[in-house]
Structure 1
Amino acid sequence: MTENTQQSPTPNGAEPSTSAPADLPTQYAPAEVEGKLYERWVERGYFEADAKSEKEPYAVVIPPPNVTGSLHLGHAFEHTLIDALTRRKRMQGCETLWQPGMDHAGIATQNVVERELGKEGKSRHDLGREAFVERVWQWKAESGGQISGQMKRLGDGVAWSRERFTMDEGLSRAVQTIFKRLYDDELIYRAERIINWCPRCLTAISDIEVEYADQDGELVSLRYGGGDGEEDTVVVATTRAETMLGDTAVAVHPDDARYAHLIGKQIKLPLTDRTIPVVADSHVDPEFGTGAVKVTPAHDPNDFEIGQRHDLPNITIMDEHAVITAHGPFQGLDRLEARSAIVAALRAEGRIVAEKRPYTHSVGHCSRCKTTIEPRLSMQWWVRVGPLAQAAGDAARDGKVQIHPKEMESRYFGWVDNLHDWCISRQLWWGHRIPVWYGPNGEVVCVGPDETPPSEGPGGEGWHQDTDVLDTWFSSALWPFSTLGWPERTESLEKFYPNSVLVTGYDILFFWVARMMMFGLYAMDGTPPFHTIALHGMVRDQFGKKMSKSFGNAVNPLDWMDKYGSDALRFTLARGANPGVDVPIGEDWVQASRNFANKIWNATRFALMNGATVEGPLPAPEEMSAADRWILSRLNTVVAETDAFYDDYQFAKLSEGLYHFAWDEVFDWYVELSKTTFYADGRAAEVSRRVLGEVLDVMLRLLHPIVPFVTETLWTTLTGGESVVIADWPTDSGFRDATAEQEIATLQQVITEVRRFRADQGLQPGQRVPARLTLEGTPLVAHEEAMRSLLRLQPAGDDFTPTASLPVAGATVALDLSGAIDFEAERKRLTKDLASAEKELKQTTAKLGNEGFLAKAPDHVVEKIRTRQAAAEADIARIKTQLENLPEG
């Protein structure tokens, strides 16, 4: 370093601190400071964003949580990452917007309010649509959105004045606008298709709202045909025997010779007065089962496609409650009751060829009410996704949008390149009502936000609006631009669209991300909604198992925040956040992060008590000790590494790097090496106090985005600055000192080896022993006082007789352990340890020499044995050296 190029000690022009260490309590109590700090940040407007600002914009939207929800670990994880990104960008001088808001969560919210009505003995039908919707708004005002308070507990730096709700007037206008445009462009249409139907919620639901679980049922093989003198028969198998009432064909593969004679013929459908054709379709797998499948176009998506190809009729046999409507003895039965009754009737007719029970298979359930989903043919509204999906795929392929990590690209393309048309209508009352009107003579009119509904115009009699509402994901797909005022060209839209990055889980890559891409590109003239899609994994328990109330391993993050502080939870989550990879978390890890926060607190408090300061410029390098130059060199390296990891969304690596720099290098080495300087008078002490103040200032700013509360308290006390939230982000000055780094590395090696030797000899950490240090010819001469202090070594007297000598890195440390340990007892202990290590070596060597074991054992098992062998060899060498160094008797 040829000139003073370190960071300004007083960012943002704040006056240097004159506060005494007494300003900091002896212990850090998160509960006493977190709430007050957050209120202060919000009151001072640190998190607000100015669309008129000339600063570089940096915008991120919050994946809108459901208004019915509460903060779970997945939210806490995602919010921690977004908050870290936006806090850093704010410190880097960007006009930073973290857009908050919530989703109206159509089915979930309607279910909540319907349950409340049920307690009063009422249903939504008793109230009527208008009154029911008003009741939901009332619930939302009184009870919804508790997650906002929990976000504040976590420290989310969102622009609260910009909070949005997907049913707000402005967002509703955006929904109606894009629906109208898509409709006019023939990208929205109405048609009968197979959808996921919930007989309890009485609505179509999206794929993401279907939860699949293995369930025991029965697989029944049925013989069709052979009736009324007919000889031809074919066997099909099904787990849903009740759907046979709606069969309109049996399908076989066109190349299956077993059934070639049947193709085109009619065969008897049991329990009915109908015959159905045998059709040839390449969708059928001739190797699976009997190679013949029953075709129920109105109750199975694959069968529907077969029906379309062969012009088969669609026979719906159930109503919306999954009750059989087909005329006959099973009419009025619930589908599960009908299943048993139909199997019994088929058995009586001798139609059952085989029965397998229990038969475990995957069954879809409504994620809201856990009712078994029924595939059902229904008239619904659809988005024609072909051209939209093509654009979404091209934007990523052309580099307009970066997907991170890159290996997730294939998953994204797998979705957008194979999208089916999207069912967007829901049979609910709560949500954005479809803006389509039907006239008395079959007219259909789609109404835009500035257009008068036909029912309110001349000749309005007989017109009525579609009763369905839109899928919640429809309005969520507009989130990056509807929250900024679209369809109006607002200042906020011009400033903050496209968003800088989207941070979200890979699990909703299709359900939300792909749809935002489609609608953003469509609505914003080919401009994608964000520059980067940064995908993270799912939070799991410490054993890697999915967290679930049913598993008994679900955790309320508020409990851990109450117990250990919000910083501890945040740091634990960030430390586990490798891009696109699931994150295991356990309470022990949160406790360890709490210990880290306490370490930062205690070490900074110690530094302040010993005069660490940010006052004045940094001293010239020639005035600094090797330890001073070393820690500043390391500090700048860490600044550069932290920036690189942030830019690559490597939260785990940046957190790990800051953890080890702070705990290991600053607190365990630099502070300890500097103690002897602090306690002496003179210029060297002043220099080290200023260097320590500089290191703490920069380190606290680097840590702030991850652990905002403890760093705010310590940084303002250290510097006297207004707030670390608006402090300058550290920059790498370029200062490096390889000589100082090598010198301190040598010092660390010697101290570590001597400490290990002391521990091996059974010395207590604070136990002092006489020693002679031979340091001539090494860079350690200037560090003898620090070495003696750290190693608890007394000067050697005239009668010094060494009992052990350690040559390390060109230096020699001779120690007199007589009187410090019982040599005979130590020899016995070491001899016993040597025997154990030799036994371990013999066993591992024998296993690795066994060709049969090596041939059969998995690679990871063999590698584990090799690791044990190497450890045993190292232990033997170490113990023998210790025995050789022990004096006799």
Structure 2
Amino acid sequence: MNATPADLSTPPGAPGLPSHYDAAAVEVPLYQRWLAAGYFHADEQKVLSGERRPFSIVLPPPNVTGDLHIGHALDHTLQDILARWHRMSGDEVLWMPGMDHAGIATQNVVEKQLALDGKTRHDFGRELFVEKVWDWKRDSGGAILGQMKRLGDSVDWSRERFTLDDGLSASVQTIFKKMFDDGLIYRAERIINWCPGCLTALSDIEVDHFDDEGELVSIRYGDGETAIVVATTRVETMLGDTGIAVHPDDERYAHLVGTTVELPLVGRQIPIVADEHVDPAFGTGAVKATPAHDPNDFEIGRRHHLPAITILTEQADIVGTGTPFDGMNRFEARSAVKEALRGEGRIVGEKKPYLHAVGHCSRSGDVVEPRLSLQWFVDVAPLAKSAGEAVREGRTRIHPPELAPRFFDWVDNMHDWTISRQLWWGHRIPVFYGPDGEIRCVGPDDEPPGEGWVQDPDVLDTWFSSGLWPFSTMGWPEQSDTLRAFYPTSVLVTGYDILFFWVARMMMFGTYLGGTGDLPPVPFETVALHGLVRDQLGKKMSKSKGNGVDPLAWIEKFGADAVRFTLARGANPGADQAIAEDWVGGSAKFCTKLFNATRFAMMNGAVLPEDALSADDLTPADRWVLDRLDSVITETGALLVDFQFGKAAEGLYHFAWDEVCDWYLELAKVQISSSADSSADPEHRLRTTKAVLGTVLDGLLKLLHPFVPFVTETLWTALTVGESLVIAPWPVASGRPADPAAAGWVADIKILTSEVRRFRSDQGLDPKRKVPARLVGGDAGVNAFAAALTRLTTAGEDFAATASIEAALAGGSVHVELDTSTAVDVPAEIARLEKDLAVAAKEIVDTAAKLANDSFMGKAPAPVVDKIRARAAKAAADVDRLTRRLGELKGGTA
């Protein structure tokens, strides 16, 4: 029992446990031992031979630039719970790890480093710059992988993948060519999201929308009866207007449809057209059309053959308008154009501040510009249709099912996807342009065209390669053993916030290849969605609010188990959860409680029985706790099948703390200490109690292992001298019929014990002081256990009862008579009660003052008022109780 914390990392069979649990000393070396033993490695042959069922998960690939944030910690914890549970259940588990090359983010990191030396990527050229990014990746990227190990992720590290690996690159090139040849990938001019800082197109997921304080400016075009007023938040874009649109049924403008009006400051005549897209009830009912700089305007322009004039450079500077504003950046031009319009008397209204949602680049923070650009697109309509059908037909299940309509809403209304990015880091588009205008798409096994051919300079959107993740990581387009054994994957665990951006893309690619016969029909059987992690007040975490948390700091302070268990307890399917440091501290206390309970049991000889426990040898307390173990085994398995992580964790918490630690261990103490007096074979009675202790702890530690793997491994290997919980079998219910009588017997003990403990507390009796008592009525066994648990001793002949308790039990009412005459230090108790009475009296005064304050009562929310009233009522009851007890003590009746 003198082992140091470091002893916990020694191989199985290490004797004993230290006096306290030190997570920091245990977790890192223990994880290294798991890795060295190869416990997380998946063996395809065991699946292909039929020896084991497959269970596979692909880890949502974190960015190579990223660190472990609280969302990762939740996502990884839930996946690890499933992986460890299935591994213990006898399945062959493949949890595939890897990272995303994060095109924009990674290129930005390296470009910022170059900028410190006054350089840009253009100073090096494409090939050398890409080499520098690879150097950065090798030297500084992937910090999150080590952080995953610190959390305890049981992924198969031997299979770690990267979206720019050769094998994954071959997958990208293969599917691009296949879709190109099928007419599903095309090149066209369309409105896209453009970042003037990163100088590239962006996907929707790379645009963050939040409210900005702008202004809504109303501008009059034309004069007199031909005048028409439009409103805009981007005044500078009016320089590129090529039309004005009104609703066909809007009688206010019927006489203007088909006419033209002069564009202020520019002098160009632009037509007024009728378009059903216009909402006549919004604003003036007339909208300016700038087809090159707004997606809705672009569609209006296509319908009415309006020209699309680009007036912003890639850096968002005004260009080509023939006005004095050329050369200004967009924000300078916004103010200058407005003042010029004001000078001409054309500003007819200003609303400022005007809050409206504005897109910002998630990488650079720049305001995103809608921009007409020549880009590569995916024709998503047939792909989205097949993805939707897979869910509607039940081939892939979305859990919880109430989130399926959100998936349908997206896939049924998707716009074509912009997949080209103006970057150098990423999968280069495998299309070449010939000297005579020819276009050729090449696959991974094709030779690139010869002299005179030029490859497209753009790279693919990162989401294109990550959309292939479930099968590219397993070797596709090769029909590898891994693919045959573990695809389709069993479940995808991810946040609902990327249901559209990532899940939908994987479904589209997976069902597309499934439809061609290259792969099974879907990429995963179930999509299990969890919510976001918010602060303790339920608010979204952000750097600007200062309410974000660092899970790594919590891991260092409390241990990975505490962080994992806190996250798991709050995880309900599809729902957001709050988290606070105090709650993590509470989980750390739970781990300590588990450690102390197991250590106590081992000190008292807890062992796993060699043979099955005989019902004839079990006390009612034994039968009760074994029945509860059976129930919890069944309940936990059912909840995990349904991805109810929070309910499973909560149930295990209360079983461990409330039933095993607070009650059965106490009952076992009584059985161990009294075995010599109550059994014809005391040694057999003692062995049985120790065996039950061992059985219960063995089952409990196994059930908790997926949630808190480090402390449970430490305790279980010490208790059982087994090799590792990672590969131990998941517990199975005994199959014994439940014993309701035993449950009722223990319930009576709980009631009687609680009543006596409450009386002792109210009377201020020293918890360690034994009190003479006589228990009349009820079950003798219940009485004996309750007496032992509450330090009551059998009354002697000179017993004189000074107090009594009545407890109504299922087994009959029990009357407890106690002699407290020598158990109370009367002067000390009087002093204590008088102090408590003063506190209660002050509380009455304070609450009465608040309740009598009309100003406070008029403003305070009802729940606050209710709490104050409850405090007042409790204080009044305390005054009555304390006054009565003081009277008894001062009158000498105690």
Q: How does 1:354-433 map to 2 (within 5 A)?
A: 354-433=349-428
Alignment correspondent of 1:797: 796
Cα contact 2:753–2:787 (8 A) shared by 1: no
Cα contact 1:247–1:297 (8 A) shared by 2: yes
Q: 1:869 to 1:504 in 2, by over 3 A?
A: farther
Cα contact 1:618–1:690 (8 A) shared by 2: no
Alignment correspondent of 2:626: 632
Tell whether 2:262 aligns with 1:261.
no
Q: Over residues 676-727 of structure 1, what are the superposed CA-to-partner deviations in whole Å (9 max), with x where a residue is unaligned?
A: 2223442211110010001111111111111111111111111111111000
CA distance in 1, matches of 2:879, 2:865: 21
Alignment correspondent of 1:5: none
Structure 1 length normalisation: TM-score? 0.91
CA distance in 2, matches of 1:621, 1:429: 72
Give the 3-state SS of the residue equivalent to 2:437 in structure 1.
Answer: coil
Cα contact 1:837–1:875 (8 A) shared by 2: no
Tell whether 2:75 aligns with 1:43.
no
Deviation at 1:789, TM superposition (A): 2.5
CA distance in 2, matches of 1:262, 1:464: 50
Deviation at 1:759, TM superposition (A): 1.9
Alignment correspondent of 1:816: 819
Task: State which drifts further: 527-536 or 832-841.
Answer: 832-841
Alignment correspondent of 1:782: 781
Tell whether 2:421 aligns with 1:448.
no
Name the amino acid aligned to 1:344. E
CA distance in 2, matches of 1:801, 1:833: 34
Tell whether 2:711 aligns with 1:710.
yes
2:479 to 483, 489, 497: 489
Alignment correspondent of 2:5: none
Cα contact 1:844–1:868 (8 A) shared by 2: no
Q: 1:883 to 1:306 in 2, by over 3 A?
A: farther
Cα contact 2:609–2:695 (8 A) shared by 1: no
Structure with the larger RCO, 1 or 2 (CA within 8 Å, 6+ apart): 1
Alignment correspondent of 1:191: 188
Alignment correspondent of 1:600: 594
Deviation at 1:764, TM superposition (A): 3.6
Q: 1:715 to 1:881 in 2, by over 3 A?
A: farther
Tell whether 2:155 aligns with 1:147.
no
Alignment correspondent of 2:735: 734
Q: 1:830 to 1:600 in 2, by over 3 A?
A: closer
Q: Over residues 272-318 of structure 1, what are the superposed CA-to-partner deviations in whole Å (9 max), with x where a residue is unaligned?
A: 12111111112212111111111111101111111122121111101
CA distance in 2, matches of 1:98, 1:614: 32
CA distance in 1, matches of 2:623, 2:800: 37
Tell whether 2:645 aligns with 1:651.
yes
Task: State which drifts further: 51-60 or 787-796.
Answer: 787-796
Q: 1:879 to 1:645 in 2, by over 3 A?
A: farther
Q: 1:482 to 1:867 in 2, by over 3 A?
A: farther
CA distance in 2, matches of 1:861, 1:543: 17
* Percent identity of paired positions between Structure 1 and Structure 2: 60
Cα contact 1:841–1:872 (8 A) shared by 2: no
Cα contact 1:834–1:879 (8 A) shared by 2: no
Query: What root-mean-square deviation, in Å, do the aligned CA atoms of Structure 1 and Structure 2 show?
Result: 2.8
Alignment correspondent of 1:544: 538
Give the 3-state SS of the residue equivalent to 1:637 in structure 2.
Answer: helix
Q: 1:640 to 1:880 in 2, by over 3 A?
A: farther
Deviation at 1:821, TM superposition (A): 5.9
Give the 3-state SS of the residue equivalent to 2:470 in structure 1.
Answer: helix
Cα contact 1:840–1:872 (8 A) shared by 2: no
Cα contact 2:841–2:875 (8 A) shared by 1: no
Alignment correspondent of 1:225: 222
1:25 to 18, 31, 42: 18
Q: Over residues 769-824 of structure 1, what are the superposed CA-to-partner deviations in whole Å (9 max), with x where a residue is unaligned?
A: 222112x4x33x12444322211223223232223221112112222233416487
Alignment correspondent of 1:561: 555
Q: 1:266 to 1:478 in 2, by over 3 A?
A: same
Name the amino acid aligned to 2:571. A
Alignment correspondent of 1:498: 488
Q: How does 1:641-720 map to 2 (within 5 A)?
A: 641-679=635-673, 680-681=675-676, 682=682, 683-720=684-721
Alignment correspondent of 1:746: 748
Cα contact 2:748–2:782 (8 A) shared by 1: no
Name the amino acid aligned to 1:146. A
Task: State which drifts further: 406-415 or 686-695.
Answer: 406-415
Deviation at 1:19, TM superposition (A): 5.9
CA distance in 1, matches of 2:494, 2:887: 59
Q: How does 1:159-170 map to 2 (within 5 A)?
A: 159-170=156-167
Deviation at 1:555, TM superposition (A): 2.1
Q: 1:504 to 1:766 in 2, by over 3 A?
A: same
CA distance in 1, matches of 2:881, 2:54: 59
Cα contact 2:230–2:286 (8 A) shared by 1: yes
CA distance in 1, matches of 2:543, 2:861: 35
CA distance in 2, matches of 1:826, 1:816: 21
Give the 3-state SS of the residue equivalent to 1:23 in structure 2.
Answer: coil
Tell whether 2:757 aligns with 1:767.
no
Cα contact 2:431–2:442 (8 A) shared by 1: yes
Deviation at 1:112, TM superposition (A): 0.6
CA distance in 2, matches of 1:364, 1:92: 47
Name the amino acid aligned to 1:662. A
CA distance in 1, matches of 2:876, 2:377: 69
Cα contact 1:834–1:880 (8 A) shared by 2: no
Tell whether 2:511 aligns with 1:521.
yes
Tell whether 2:45 aligns with 1:52.
yes
Alignment correspondent of 2:63: 66
Deviation at 1:828, TM superposition (A): 7.1
Alignment correspondent of 1:11: none
CA distance in 1, matches of 2:850, 2:507: 56
Name the amino acid aligned to 1:586. A
Name the amino acid aligned to 2:821. S
1:205 to 202, 205, 229: 202
Name the amino acid aligned to 1:108. A
Alignment correspondent of 1:758: 760
CA distance in 2, matches of 1:193, 1:830: 76
2:497 to 507, 512, 517: 507
CA distance in 1, matches of 2:481, 2:882: 73
Name the amino acid aligned to 2:309. I
Name the amino acid aligned to 1:168. D
Cα contact 2:830–2:886 (8 A) shared by 1: no
Alignment correspondent of 1:435: 430
Cα contact 1:837–1:876 (8 A) shared by 2: no
CA distance in 1, matches of 2:77, 2:405: 27
Alignment correspondent of 1:476: 466
Name the amino acid aligned to 1:758. R
Cα contact 2:844–2:872 (8 A) shared by 1: no
Cα contact 2:840–2:876 (8 A) shared by 1: no
2:93 to 75, 96, 101: 96
What is the aligned length?
Answer: 856
Listed as ranges, the gaps of 5+ residues in structure 2 are: 1-10, 677-681
Q: 1:870 to 1:215 in 2, by over 3 A?
A: same
Task: State which drifts further: 136-145 or 196-205.
Answer: 136-145
Q: Over residues 165-215 of structure 1, what are the superposed CA-to-partner deviations in whole Å (9 max), with x where a residue is unaligned?
A: 000011001001111111111111111111110001000011111112222
CA distance in 2, matches of 1:239, 1:212: 15
